A and B are shown apart, each in its own frame.
Chain A
């Protein structure tokens, strides 16, 4: 049991709280601290998914104000890493963190990239300076320990490795001090690389603090892919375009730094799986790479519904010149189909007033496109009646002009009309 529990600082990772506890405690070695904290003789000091937290809360001083779920959400990387997981899997990991009795190995391989594992605890020199002034001691920040983060989102400067190796201190919690957080050689990134790394870092920070998805992520991606014409209306991916554009967007340096290089030859490429319904890619970093490539911010991805509207929002105008509602927005819905040849979207519009139906090859480039059609599918009964009426008093070219069509169409129509008349007779 503990006679005190250090109050965690803002964005302090639990590992660091334990390390500060160890430093203040009379304990001479890590196993005594493990006993104080978790009632076990030995524990692997996990940075990302600490376990046995249920024991921790029980060992805290009487009337302790700390709530286990608040500790997990505010002082571990759980919210960041599990943001794309299903609620069931998230529950399994939470249970593991509480009691440690479930096997989570196959659950976490999907969310943390083993290649990108941090060998050392990491720090931002400016954060440390501020902490020293404000609190009188240093601590390990949660956001700096995320796999694949290179820039401090607060100060926008590079993050450095401390001299504390996680591998060498498996059974010991080591607190941040001015001695183990030393900048030996200053790191400067290329401006282009820096900008991209900063975007990644800021998105990571945003997700860490807003780990709630209100939309269907896969649908969001698909709609955006369709919008940017990396996917067809039916959902087929234009793989070659996607991969080449993605690689040029990020550049090989970033993809190597974040350990997310793409192998073009292999069909098990992670990028192609992102939109595929059956596979699950849950590593948040990969999602950030994709969403930024698709020109999405995490806020839009998580909170705002992305719609695929190659013809804009309804209602759409009726383009029948003789209809009472001509060029009035009256058509509520558009039926989008796939073009066989070009795989571009084709919209079918039908006026409820006159039965006039037209199609347009999309997607619309400008607002004027709304008043354009590629082909008329059906003129509708009203149009035919009006044609008959006008033909009685007018010449064919005039009628064609009035009806917004060509005289051949009118002749065609008369011909077909006569054929049906004869058939009827």
Chain B
């Protein structure tokens, strides 16, 4: 526990809203995008002489490729959003501010949602960004007055596999226990409490550990929750954001779209930062940047230069999914090493894709053909109908209109009422006529049967 703890060091803030807020002043400074790139990037060591090692060693070395992290434009965007959302969330929750003390404050928190095709590295990049912040900050003194409390900057949870609220609460309790050494799990997680009480406890805990950002991963699991479960969970997140002012970041595959576009659509209006979608990479500068970054990690005996043809092949085979791209390149190297070819060719990549990526092949094929019907069969890659209409944050963003106003323009003229005349039953085969002319002692069933409208069992 102790190694996680950072003693608070308060930094002079440039932005006036951030001044005098111990939670914000204790955070690391806001950094420029160049610094973000250098902090996010990860390039493991590489030595040219390793190319001369025996096959078995080189096959292991290829594993290093998976550690490479090349920041892309969208990662910078995400970093900036997280940085903003954490700080903005703290603005209203200043323990030294009397309006916060008297529970009479306006939430400044915003939530946002990160959606992306599986294999785009959503979890990885969020983890890397969060690791730039200390997880626990200990305050003991702020400007000569004692201030004794923990500040947990972020907490990452995974939505439970069945999308249940209880599972989320339990993992929240155990996570807090893990980092702070409390006993919330045994206290609130045992069977004694109902789920509703757990939620109350959870929001209280989040409040008094001064949580900066709650990250919920695998949000698409909500679609598996029991009926009404997803709505309740999403409503709870809205409560966290609006009532206690805790920013929430939801991460999921496009599968979560169905859930989120249900009732959460309204709640989303409350999000100050909009939503972010990690689409598959296009075959453009970003993809080139990625391939360039991994290309240097080559352990074949004969170095292969990167050509446009190779890039195109990689793109075609991976369809711009980062994980697949890296895997393909790694597998191609292993194949080249083990087969003794020692050079990477487009053909080799295709061959590897055919041999080793059989499981994902149908999905990739669907993406390649662009057949919407095909793609739609795989909800975690289908981003077709994502409606990312960014709305400017409303002035009154906490007043969510619940009933839509009638769009009648008030005129001085009276509305012309068109009366629809009732058409008297006339036709023979009108049911109403049949019922009117029914004979004594006959039930409706008999009448309908007599007219041949109800088919008997024997007909079938």
Check A7 against B148 for contact (C-beta < 8 Å): yes
A64 part of interface (Cβ distance < 8 Å): yes
B142 — nearest CB in chain A belongs to which residue?
A7
Check A25 against B208 for contact (C-beta < 8 Å): yes
A67 — nearest CB in chain B belongs to which residue?
B146
Check B141 against A65 for contact (C-beta < 8 Å): yes
Check B138 against A24 for contact (C-beta < 8 Å): no
Check A135 against B98 for contact (C-beta < 8 Å): yes
Check A63 against B140 for contact (C-beta < 8 Å): yes
Interfacial residues of chain B within 172-225, with CB under 8 A of chain A in the complex: 180-182, 184, 187-188, 197, 200-202, 204-205, 207-210
**Beyond A32-B187, A136-B100, is A65–B201 a contact (Cβ under 8 Å)?**
no
B174 to chain A, nearest CB (A): 15
A64 — which chain B residues lie within 8 A by C-beta?
140, 146, 148
B145 — which chain A residues lie within 8 A by C-beta?
7
A136 — which chain B residues lie within 8 A by C-beta?
97-102, 104
Check B204 against A61 for contact (C-beta < 8 Å): no
Number of B residues near A (Cβ < 8 Å) is 36
Check A61 against B181 for contact (C-beta < 8 Å): no
**Beyond A3-B208, A26-B205, A28-B197, is A61–B150 a contact (Cβ under 8 Å)?**
yes
**Beyond A26-B188, A26-B204, A65-B141, is A4–B102 a contact (Cβ under 8 Å)?**
no
A150 — which chain B residues lie within 8 A by C-beta?
none
B2 — nearest CB in chain A belongs to which residue?
A62
B448 — which chain A residues lie within 8 A by C-beta?
none
Check A3 against B150 for contact (C-beta < 8 Å): yes
B182 — which chain A residues lie within 8 A by C-beta?
1, 3
B146 — nearest CB in chain A belongs to which residue?
A65
Interfacial residues of chain B within 58-113, with CB under 8 A of chain A in the complex: 97-102, 104
B31 part of interface (Cβ distance < 8 Å): no
In the bound complex, what is the Cα–Cα distance between A137 and B138 (angstroms)? 24
In the bound complex, what is the Cα–Cα distance between A66 and B146 (angstroms)? 7
B205 — which chain A residues lie within 8 A by C-beta?
3, 26
In the bound complex, what is the Cα–Cα distance between A350 and B202 (angstroms)? 87
A5 part of interface (Cβ distance < 8 Å): yes
A66 — which chain B residues lie within 8 A by C-beta?
146, 148
Of the candidates B98, B99, B149, B184, which one forms a contact with A26 in the assembled complex, judged by CB atoms under 8 Å apart? B184
B147 part of interface (Cβ distance < 8 Å): yes
In the bound complex, what is the Cα–Cα distance between A137 and B103 (angstroms)? 9
In the bound complex, what is the Cα–Cα distance between A132 and B99 (angstroms)? 10
A341 to chain B, nearest CB (A): 66
A63 — which chain B residues lie within 8 A by C-beta?
7, 138, 140, 148
Of the candidates B148, B188, B200, B202, which one forms a contact with A4 in the assembled complex, judged by CB atoms under 8 Å apart? B148
A134 — which chain B residues lie within 8 A by C-beta?
98
A309 part of interface (Cβ distance < 8 Å): no
Interfacial residues of chain A within 1-60, with CB under 8 A of chain B in the complex: 1, 3-5, 7, 24-26, 28, 32, 60
In the bound complex, what is the Cα–Cα distance between A60 and B104 (angstroms)? 27
Contact flags B112-135 to A (C-beta < 8 A → 1, else 0): 000000000000000000000000
B102 — which chain A residues lie within 8 A by C-beta?
132, 136-137
Check A61 against B149 for contact (C-beta < 8 Å): yes
B186 to chain A, nearest CB (A): 11
In the bound complex, what is the Cα–Cα distance between A103 and B460 (angstroms)? 94
B5 — which chain A residues lie within 8 A by C-beta?
62
Of the candidates A1, A3, A28, A135, which one forms a contact with B149 in the assembled complex, judged by CB atoms under 8 Å apart? A3
Check B208 against A61 for contact (C-beta < 8 Å): no
Q: Identify which of A4, A32, A64, A65 gathers the most chain B CB atoms within 10 Å of its CB.
A: A4
Q: Identify which of A25, A63, A132, A135 gathers the most chain B CB atoms within 10 Å of its CB.
A: A63
Check B149 against A4 for contact (C-beta < 8 Å): yes
In the bound complex, what is the Cα–Cα distance between A132 and B140 (angstroms)? 25
B197 — which chain A residues lie within 8 A by C-beta?
28
B184 — which chain A residues lie within 8 A by C-beta?
26
Check A61 against B148 for contact (C-beta < 8 Å): yes
B149 — which chain A residues lie within 8 A by C-beta?
3-5, 61
B8 — nearest CB in chain A belongs to which residue?
A63
A7 — which chain B residues lie within 8 A by C-beta?
145-148
Check B181 against A1 for contact (C-beta < 8 Å): yes
B197 — nearest CB in chain A belongs to which residue?
A28
B203 — nearest CB in chain A belongs to which residue?
A26
In the bound complex, what is the Cα–Cα distance between A298 and B208 (angstroms)? 44
B141 — nearest CB in chain A belongs to which residue?
A65
A63 — nearest CB in chain B belongs to which residue?
B140
Of the candidates B138, B187, B188, which one forms a contact with A62 in the assembled complex, judged by CB atoms under 8 Å apart? B138
Check B207 against A24 for contact (C-beta < 8 Å): yes
B132 to chain A, nearest CB (A): 22
A76 to chain B, nearest CB (A): 17
Check A60 against B148 for contact (C-beta < 8 Å): yes
In the bound complex, what is the Cα–Cα distance between A4 and B204 (angstroms)? 13
**Beyond A63-B7, A136-B99, A137-B101, is A5–B201 a contact (Cβ under 8 Å)?**
no
Contact flags B1-29 to A (C-beta < 8 A → 1, else 0): 01001010000000000000000000000
B208 — which chain A residues lie within 8 A by C-beta?
3-4, 24-26
Check A3 against B209 for contact (C-beta < 8 Å): yes
A184 to chain B, nearest CB (A): 24
**Beyond A63-B7, A136-B101, is A26–B201 a contact (Cβ under 8 Å)?**
yes
Q: Identify which of A7, A24, A132 gathers the most chain B CB atoms within 10 Å of its CB.
A: A7
Interfacial residues of chain A within 170-192, with CB under 8 A of chain B in the complex: none
Of the candidates A25, A60, A65, A135, which one forms a contact with B204 in the assembled complex, judged by CB atoms under 8 Å apart? A25
A136 — nearest CB in chain B belongs to which residue?
B98
B188 — which chain A residues lie within 8 A by C-beta?
26
In the bound complex, what is the Cα–Cα distance between A152 and B111 (angstroms)? 48
Interfacial residues of chain A within 88-141, with CB under 8 A of chain B in the complex: 132, 134-137
A104 to chain B, nearest CB (A): 29
B151 to chain A, nearest CB (A): 9
B138 — which chain A residues lie within 8 A by C-beta?
61-63
In the bound complex, what is the Cα–Cα distance between A24 and B209 (angstroms)? 10
Of the candidates B2, B101, B140, B201, which one forms a contact with A135 in the assembled complex, judged by CB atoms under 8 Å apart? B101
A60 — which chain B residues lie within 8 A by C-beta?
148
In the bound complex, what is the Cα–Cα distance between A20 and B101 (angstroms)? 11
A32 — nearest CB in chain B belongs to which residue?
B187
In the bound complex, what is the Cα–Cα distance between A32 and B208 (angstroms)? 15
B98 — nearest CB in chain A belongs to which residue?
A136
A329 to chain B, nearest CB (A): 55
B147 — which chain A residues lie within 8 A by C-beta?
7, 65
Check B101 against A3 for contact (C-beta < 8 Å): no
In the bound complex, what is the Cα–Cα distance between A4 and B22 (angstroms)? 14
B239 to chain A, nearest CB (A): 15
A8 — nearest CB in chain B belongs to which residue?
B146
B97 — nearest CB in chain A belongs to which residue?
A136
In the bound complex, what is the Cα–Cα distance between A3 and B210 (angstroms)? 9
In the bound complex, what is the Cα–Cα distance between A226 and B207 (angstroms)? 64
B145 to chain A, nearest CB (A): 7
A175 to chain B, nearest CB (A): 12
In the bound complex, what is the Cα–Cα distance between A298 and B209 (angstroms)? 46
Q: Identify which of A28, A62, A132 gathers the most chain B CB atoms within 10 Å of its CB.
A: A62
A178 — nearest CB in chain B belongs to which residue?
B102
B149 to chain A, nearest CB (A): 3
B445 to chain A, nearest CB (A): 59
A137 — which chain B residues lie within 8 A by C-beta?
98, 101-102
Some 13 contacts from A to B, beta carbons below 8 A apart, are A3-B150, A3-B182, A4-B148, A26-B202, A32-B187, A61-B150, A63-B7, A63-B140, A65-B147, A66-B146, A66-B148, A132-B102, A135-B98
Closest 5 CB pairs of A and B: A136-B98, A4-B149, A26-B204, A136-B102, A136-B101
* Known A1-B182, A7-B145, A26-B200; further 16 A-B contacts with Cβ < 8 A: A1-B180, A3-B180, A7-B146, A24-B204, A25-B208, A26-B184, A26-B188, A28-B201, A61-B140, A61-B148, A62-B5, A65-B141, A132-B102, A134-B98, A136-B101, A136-B102
B contacts, CB < 8 Å to A: 2, 5, 7, 97-102, 104, 138-141, 145-150, 180-182, 184, 187-188, 197, 200-202, 204-205, 207-210
A contacts, CB < 8 Å to B: 1, 3-5, 7, 24-26, 28, 32, 60-66, 132, 134-137
